[in-house]
Structure 1
Amino acid sequence: MIKVEVIRKDKLIHAFRISGHANSGPYGYDLVCAGVSAVSFGAVNAVIELCKVDLNIEQTGDGGYLNIEIPSSLTDEQSKETQLIFEAMLVSLQTIERDYRKFIQIKD
């Protein structure tokens, strides 16, 4: 099962952690895993590229762990944009969870 944990400070996303494997299909054909990966890495890449934020990123080589921490030294504009992108990511992950509850669990 994929577990998503969102850590908030003052209602804002401070960090999130995604761990585990969905195992909803054969290796290379796991649509839940592919969806979660696309949504989360797309959001991380968007924050880095569009917001010019140097995120604290920790991940494993096998793809079963991603930990992202937002630095506290952002401008107000960077913070607003980063929050919007990561809140959108969370909405997308919740949509996946709604249809595939057996394979993904979100704790916000």
Structure 2
Amino acid sequence: MITLKVDRDSSGKITGFLMEGHAGSGPHGFDLVCAGVSAVSFGALNAVEKLTSVELRVRQSPGGGFLQCSLPMDSGAGDLGEARLILEAMLVSMQTIEESYGKYIHIFDKGGTDHVET
């Protein structure tokens, strides 16, 4: 199972996330949940990099199954807001995946509402 843990500051603004695990919804190379989650998460990171001046702190495992991202708190307020909006959009897409494939992905949103496995 993939777990996505969202971190937020005291005012509820997203500060980063940690994603771990493997979906296991199909054979390696044919796992549609894994492909969807990977496309959404890396698409969001690439969008932050291309569309803002925010330099994300990203760690990942070469073998997959681990992705951690945090926003630097020293970025300009405007760009940081844009980066947060992109990460919130990523979360909405992940929640959509979780609604259909809750057996393979679970989201923990600190400061938000945890989503129930289906």
For the superposition of Structure 1 and Structure 2, which TM-score range results when normalised by the shorter chain? over 0.9
Which residue number corresponds to residue 103 of structure 2? 102
1:58 paired to 2:59:
yes
Percent identity between the two aligned chains: 52
- 1:13-66 deviations in whole A, cap 9, x for unaligned? 111000000000000000000000000000001001111211111100111000
Equivalent residue, structure 1, for 2:77 = 76
Q: How does 1:6-17 map to 2 (within 5 A)?
A: 6-9=6-9, 10-17=11-18
Q: For CA contacts below 8 A with separation 6 or more, give which structure has more relative contact order.
A: 1
Q: Does 1:3 align with 2:3?
A: yes
Q: How many residues align?
A: 108
Secondary structure class of the residue paired with 2:38: helix
Q: Which amino acid in structure 2 is aligned with residue 85 of structure 1?
A: I
SS in 1 for 2:6: strand
Looking at structure 1, the residues matched to 97 and 62 of structure 2 have their Cα atoms a distance apart, in angstroms, of 24
Aligned alpha-carbon RMSD (Å): 0.6
Give the match for residue 46 of structure 1: 47
User: Is the contact between residue 19 and residue 66 of structure 2 (CA under 8 Å) also seen in structure 1?
Assistant: yes
Q: Show the counterpart of 2:92.
A: 91
Query: 2:26–2:32: 8 Å Cα contact kept in structure 1?
Result: yes
Q: Any runs of at least 4 consecutive aligned residues in structure 1 with deviations exceeding 4 A, and if so which?
A: none
Unaligned stretches of 5+ residues in structure 2: 110-118
- The Cα of 1:99 is off from its aligned counterpart by 0.1
Unmatched runs of 5 consecutive residues or more in structure 1 = none
Q: Which amino acid aligns with 1:11?
A: G
Amino acid at match of 2:76: T
